[in-house]
A and B are shown apart, each in its own frame.
Chain A
Amino acid sequence: MVSESNQDADSLAIEFLKLVNDIIPWRDLPSEMRQDKWRILAKRVMASSGDDIQEFLHNIIKSIAGDSFYVTRSERGKEEGKGEEERRRLGKELEEYLKKVKSIGKEKELIDYIKSRAIPLIIRLSAEGGET
């Protein structure tokens, strides 16, 4: 069980990795990379660094996808029976996320938490999205 003090960091970390995964244009990358995406993502997260969470995110994405990234993403409507597609505005979500992290004020700790637990967090992310 994740201890109470780590619970905030844990949910922020999952949210962070979900955003990173959504921003990376996996579809445009070579098929070998797509097939091994979770391992590549885990390795890049462990190897990247940054003075703040924004720079950390930027470095991870850049190390995988160079300068290309998604700012919007289509997603199926979450309500059952609705087959409509929703447009997620990733740029806005990212902005809100960064604001939230800055307001909490423990960016360094969050970066350390994500880097040191990258593999289990990514396994969770892959399972939660049903994509393992």
Chain B
Amino acid sequence: MPAIRCHFFAGLLHDVLKPLLKFKKGRKGWYWLHLDGLEVGGTKANLEEILGQSLSTILSENEVKLLVQLIRQHHGDAVKYNPITYAENEKGLGIAIIEAALIPRKDLKDMGLCTCIEAKGLTHPYHFFVLTLIYQGIKYYLNKVYDEIFSSLGLTRLIVEYNFGSEKLPEIQYDDEKLSLILRYHVPSTLYKGLKVVHEYGGNVFFNIEEAKAEYIKIQHAWSDVLTFLIPSPSVDGLTYKMLCVIPGIIVYNGKDISTNDDAKRSFESKVQYIVKSVLAEIQESIKLDRSYNEVLLDYVEGNEQGDASCIFCGKKTNRKIRLSRKRLLSEKFTDYHRIRIGESVCPLCHIGFQYEELLREQGPAFYLSLPCEISSVEVADDFKQRYLGYGEYPLNPEEGMVFSVLGLFTMQLMSDAWYSSLLKEVNKRSSSLPTWIRLYTLRKQKDMEEFYVKFLINRRVVIYPLIVKIRPKALVSSYGDRKKKFVLNTEILEGHTLWRGSELDITEEHLDVLEPLTNTFKSSLYKKVYGTLVNLYGL
């Protein structure tokens, strides 16, 4: 275990000097310097000094030496003898590519990734709704699994602080009572001087913006927020969606060579399979169906249909007959007859989607699942550009597809989540029949609104220094209406220019662009009223 712990912390800390953003131009292009010898404030960085003392309560002296050695050697041709390089490099697992590109060139199982579910033939919003519900449930339970594994290695909480201002070496603190690790980075930036951004990862947290002020932002993440992915992937069967998660403990390093731990892989995969089954059962139990879909639900998610009849919502083949009368499937308030087909059958996905929509609608507030946002523009911070004026160019060029190499899928999903969090607030009152991992939201009230949220809602700009990214958020939304509204089919994927539905008019990207000049001349006293007017005029 101690050796594994040493490898684990080496992996976690191997890029500890990257936030200093030191680049050097070489013959083959730009190099991101992040190892020993890096000059910071007149002194040369020494990884042993930075890491040794802070990790001395969890690692022995020899283990710290091994950790530093692994970090120092994690580049170049070390793929055969360095576990960090093996994990990152395409000649090894190449797992880093999953963050950088949507479609990896390698087989996923050779990358240390486990495919929880491969969804095919999804055509109706209810299909995506059920898929994302499953994803949310799997993420929730996987987070507990990751937490158990990381806690056994000595880490229950990871806190990463980015302090913008002057250039300084990072500070690392390990608390051996709380098993928490704090990484305090000092990012050189004059433009954002004074800004502090804190990311907290752990086993008991959901993604949440805990505090948001102009100069201090604290964001909480679950481990599984950054270790599970739902990625679209083209195949011969059309567009499929793969739900993937990272398998921990797959690399075995004996001090010389690297091999893979098939037992750890099998054990993790069996846990995932158990979680998938549990989540499918939990979803069905919460809506109290008179007949279980346990046997066929996964088949339908994976694109297999059976039966001679066709579903009234999506047209998929099914053999499940249903009575549509108002006392059966359809509620007394149902009015959307023009949006369903003639027939009396329903497929498992639409049945569950429809019933869930009804259940959530009864709760009143909105339900949403964020999807990876699109990037509408990328700028590079001026102060960063100025540091490289002498070179005639700067290291990060938005024109060269760099966005994907910096912004991973999960980052884009979290950015969508952040945008919707600026408009919506989680509600605590909920039906006991809902699974614990379902979170319900309601529109923020004018009195609870903060200036930061109103600005972010309008300008949609996220600083991932040195990048300033303008996002086009996406989400799958169900149940906008409150319980008094008449029933309509209202589960849909919000994508493209429509960002939120209003009863008067939808909020679109174009409309928020028109509002943007306001954020530059905002009088602090007015932002709540601006938000109130926005809610009133759009009918949110």
Contacts and interface: CB of A to CB of B under 8 A. Distances in A.
Interface stretch (B99-107, B170-178, B350-358, B511-519): B511-519
Contacts of B523: 130
Nearest to B525: A130
B78 interface: no
A127 B514 contact: no
B518 A124 contact: yes
A26 B184 CA distance: 57
Contact of A2 (B516, B532, B534, B538): B516
A123 interface: yes
A52 interface: no
A122 to B, nearest CB: 7
Contacts of A128: 518, 521
Interface stretch (A54-62, A99-107, A113-121): A113-121
A38 interface: yes
Nearest to B534: A123
Nearest to A2: B513
B533 A132 contact: yes
A120 B532 contact: no
A130 B514 CA distance: 18
A122 B536 CA distance: 12
B537 A39 contact: yes
B530 interface: yes
B514 A38 contact: no
Contact of B514 (A10, A39, A42): A10
Nearest to A127: B530
Contacts of A120: 511-512, 514-515
Contacts of B537: 38-39, 42, 119, 122-123
User: Which of B512, B517, B518, B532 has the most CB atoms of chain A within a 10 A radius of its CB?
Assistant: B517
Interface string B494-533: 0000000000110000111111111001010010011011
Contacts of B521: 128
Interface in B30-84: none
Contact of A121 (B512, B514, B534): B514
Nearest to B459: A1
A18 to B, nearest CB: 14
A123 B537 CA distance: 8
Contacts of B516: 1-2
B381 to A, nearest CB: 16
**Size band of the A side of the interface?**
20 to 34
A51 B98 CA distance: 55
A42 B538 CA distance: 10
A109 to B, nearest CB: 15
Interface string A1-36: 111000000100000000000000000000000000
Interface in A78-132: 116-117, 119-124, 126-128, 130, 132
A24 B136 CA distance: 52
Given A39-B537, A127-B529, A117 B518 contact: no
Given A119-B511, A132-B529, A124 B536 contact: no
A38 B534 CA distance: 10
Contacts of B511: 117, 119-120
Contacts of A3: 513
Nearest to A126: B533
A124 B515 contact: yes
A111 B25 CA distance: 52
Nearest to A120: B514
A38 B536 contact: yes
B517 A123 contact: no
Contacts of B505: 46, 119
A44 to B, nearest CB: 12
Contact of B533 (A2, A46, A116, A123): A123
A132 B530 contact: yes
Contacts of A126: 530, 533
Nearest to B529: A132
Contact of B518 (A39, A43, A116, A127): A127
Given A124-B518, A130-B523, A132-B530, A39 B512 contact: no
Contacts of A1: 513, 516
Contact of A117 (B504, B514, B529): B514
Nearest to A13: B514
Contacts of B510: 116-117
A122 B538 CA distance: 11
Given A1-B513, A43-B504, A128-B518, 4 more contacts: A2-B514, A10-B517, A38-B536, A117-B514
Interface of A: 1-3, 10, 38-39, 42-43, 46, 116-117, 119-124, 126-128, 130, 132
**Which 4 pairs across A and B sit closest by C-beta, in order of nearness?**
A132-B529, A120-B514, A120-B511, A120-B515
15 contacts: A1-B516, A10-B514, A38-B537, A39-B504, A42-B537, A43-B504, A116-B510, A119-B505, A119-B511, A120-B514, A120-B515, A126-B530, A127-B526, A127-B533, A128-B518
